[in-house]
Every structure is written in structure tokens, then in C-alpha cells.
Structure 1
Amino acid sequence: MKAHQLVARGIGIGAAILIALPALAQGARPHPQITITNQRAVPLESLEIATTGEQSRLVAKLAKPLAPGKSTTLKLNKPQGCSYFILGKFADEAETDADGMDLCKDRVIRLTE
């Protein structure tokens, strides 16, 4: 299992996002649960996972803030395909996002400085 890293960006924070390639198998489905790990020094206030495309649909949302160094698991609600949009917001007003993240391949999202 490979982990996908999203790097927070904002005032004074460098922007870098690693995006996985789409799954090669047609009809592939993501794992029903995705692990989110906050490796930043500030709480993750919100995180949303949505399908990509014109008819975007929210499939998972962080229920409460995630403390620094902690992990949580989000259940995907009726996932479709492998490509997803991720948006996270931190207590220091930094944001992180990724468009086209392959959740069929990556089951862990690590949020870093």
C-alpha cells in the first residue's frame, strides 16, 4: 500500500502536490475507507473528498478537526471511479488540494508541511 502526500500551501508554505496516475483497470473501485494523517504542526480543520468532473459529488468529509500527528479514517459514500478532488483547510489558514487523486491506488493521504 502506497501513501499519497499532499503538501499544505499558503502564506510562507511552499506548494507541492504529488498526484497519482489514474488506475489502469477499467471499472476499478477505491477502497471503501481512506486514512488521513495530519503530519503538520497545526490542526486540520476540514477535509473534503469529492468526485471529479462536471457533476462533482461529495463522498467523504472530516467530521471534526484532526490534531497534529493524528490519523483518522474516512468512509467513502458511494464512490465512483478512481479520480477524486481533495480539499483540506488548516487552523493557520493554509490550504491543500489535489485534483485527480487516484484513490483506487492510494488508501492513505498524508498531509505535510
Structure 2
Amino acid sequence: MIVRTLIVTSFLLAATGVFAAPSKPNSSVVVTNARDVSATDIAIGANGQTVRLTKPLAPKAKATLRLPRVTGCMVAVAATFEDESTAELPELDTCKDGTLRFTD
């Protein structure tokens, strides 16, 4: 009976992801500008390294931004827009999500 309980418990733990391998960070992030103004600067940084879009991102446009090599999953995001507004996201988990969407 104990062996049967251990086997069932191990199957349940495996099914819930407790024994799952750790997630790997995405190597890039798809950035969507869903605002009505252009994003003039978008920067993503981690571990002292920063990458930026090389040109403004037009309204309703998408771009793929390659991430620097990072240890771990967390990156910080900062954006500046044509209307002088800003957006900051101090922690984006790139292991869970490889997309970023700016909205009004």
C-alpha cells in the first residue's frame, strides 16, 4: 500500500510540473506599440547590458528585439514616446513571456 501511494504521489507531482526542468529565457522579445503615438526609444536591460531598438516604433507596429545574454529570466524595460510619456517595467520574466505590449 505504501509503494502504491508513493507511485501515485510521484505521478501527481510530475503532472503538476514540480519535477519540470527550469525554464530558459527567451532570446528575443516581440514588442508591440498599440499606442496612437510612436515609441521613440525602447530599452531592455539585464546584468549591466542594455539593448535598444535602432529606430522609432510606429503606432500599431511590432518589432523583435534580441536580448543580451542574461543569467536568469528577469529584465527591465523602459520606453519613451513621442508625446513625452514614459513606461517602465522593472521586472519582465522572459522565461514566462516573450512579448511586450504598450497600450494607452
Unaligned runs of 5+ in 2: 1-19
Cα deviation digits, residues 12-44 of structure 1 (max 9, x gap):
xxxxxxxxxxxxx88643111110000000000
Which stretches of structure 1, 4 residues or longer, exceed 2 Å deviation after superposition? 25-29
Q: 1:48 aligns with which of 29, 36, 43?
A: 43
Specify the alignment match of 2:82 in structure 1.
91
RMSD of aligned residue pairs (Cα, Å): 1.7
Matched ranges for 1:28-47 at <5 A: 28-47=23-42
**Residues 42 and 78 of structure 2 are in contact (CA less than 8 Å); yes or no, is this contact kept in structure 1?**
yes
What is the number of equivalent residue pairs in this alignment? 85
Q: Distance in 2 between matches of 1:80 and 1:29?
A: 10
TM-score, structure 1 normalization? 0.69
Specify the alignment match of 2:55 in structure 1.
64
Larger proportion of helix = 2
- Relative contact order, higher structure (CA 8 A, sep 6+): 1
